[in-house]
Structure 1
Amino acid sequence: MLWKKKKKQESPRELLNITTRNGQIASVDNHNSFQTRAESSLKQVLDAIKLGIPQHEIQFSLHTGDFPTESLVKGNFYYCCEKKEDLDFVFPDFIFDHWQQAGIPDFKKTVSEIQKEAEKPYLHPRMLWIGNVQTHPNREKIIKYSEQYPDLIEAYNTYVDQAVLGGKKDIPYITLKDHTHYKYLIDIEGKGYSGRIKMLLFTKRLLFLQDRVWKSYYHFELEPYKHFIPVKNDLSDLMEQMRFAEQQGEEYYRTITQNAYDFAVENLQYEKAVQRIQKLISAL
């Protein structure tokens, strides 16, 4: 048995327990997963099972929180990890299906819209970042940079959920498709791993990635200066890295953004995510 039920008061806050038997779902137990994360991940698991899994009984848990909160144990999966050696514990996240509450009603549709818009020239020769500043102190720094260098960086402190649902009318809501209107994009860590990097890689815009602890499974295959421009965790070298990118010229810009796009097309599709889940389940 790969997981055991704990006493009620000890149950994880965000946890999806699944049992398969004879190559099909036998039981599902969802412990308070946030929004529709459990439903989306379960859909991915069901599609993975259709590809074929062992007939013996398999029990596993998917922790649907933003980062691992306990020791990694066989049969426990997460949406991210800290180091490459832990990749066998990492599922593709729920966003490969959808994140309706954050303005991503369907992953494939959102990616298709980004791809279409990405073929157009960017409109603003600036860097864009938009997100909830309260999820990590480093996000406050990008706001300060935007105030100090308004001609170079555009950044907004917002709550995506509230913007999508009609709240905070005074704060702009910029869709992922409209991120392509900017020459440079940056992703900054929040509470845990980042779910939007995979979509930003489709934009054909130069992506700056801040160093962080929690990483999605594909993050380890991305190469600095080939797929993205690296930035220190505290953002202290951000302006230096922006100057570096500018000095490389348009040919470098086109090369690195095409590399990122090609990587995304090849690796970051729903079907590839499902295949990874099938492989991880089958190894139990």
Structure 2
Amino acid sequence: MPVALALLPDFLLILLGQALRRWLHLGDHFWTGLEKLVYFVLFPALLFNALARADLAWTTAAPLVATAAGAMIVGMLLGGLARWLFPPSMLSPVSFASQFQCAFRFNSYIGLAVAAKLHGGAGIAAMGLVTGAMVPLANFAAVGMLARHGGVSLWRELAKNPLVLATLAGLLWNMLGLGLPAPLAQFLGRLAEAAIALGLLAVGAALRLRGAPGGGHGTAAWFLAVKLLAVPLAAIGIARFFGLSGPYFDIALAFAALPTASSAYILAQRMGGDGASVAWLISAGTLAAMLTLPLWLGLVRG
């Protein structure tokens, strides 16, 4: 399958990250530092560079963002059903509130890597626009469900989120029609080149599948099925309703089919939730997405 082969190098980078963590024994401080470098420097540079230089079709970008939002809301609704499908004796309220976010949150690193492989710089710009727009919605839902267990300020989190800030800065630069001086463009380009490879290595290094999630494997299967099957299916229906086609259709589907990001684990830990279960779901979802993501894209691209 052409799509699967195209995405294989990116998935191999994820597996390499896990292997390097096991074999080289670099220590948690190394991988924590790498994650911070990617999150605060490299990926913001990638987003800004792509959005500032992109030729965005705003009449199509609006339906693209609406499609992503609609698919995420479907994930939230289906994820919320777990509260009634699995009794509190099986899935505690704290564990539910923590795992709930795994039904709709997304891994921007994988998303941008897939977008670059599918449509180059234009794909990165479209995926950057979608992820930047969806971060507030994802955080509203996740923080709101966990709010009773901690005191994280949603607005403070959004105001200092480097991906959101880079997205807004890139869009503003684009709308003002400002060009990038050659030295600055080359500087940002060098950072962008490093972003995807190092970001995927960091994703792989964070994989953890020890133990079992809260509520057992039945609840885990529900959240994984919602994120990797139901949400992409919803995205296809919504995208067709809005008449999306070509690269924007691909980006909408790829976004919907992404596994959950490690930020879900960080949020659960900071707010006194069930971090271990979230880590398990993130890891299982990332590995499963190596199969489901190419299948979804291959299905619609022929």
TM-score relative to the length of structure 2: 0.28
Between Structure 1 and Structure 2, the one with more strand by share is 1
TM-score relative to the length of structure 1: 0.30
Structure whose CA Rg is larger: 1
Greater RCO between the two (CA within 8 Å, min separation 6)? 2
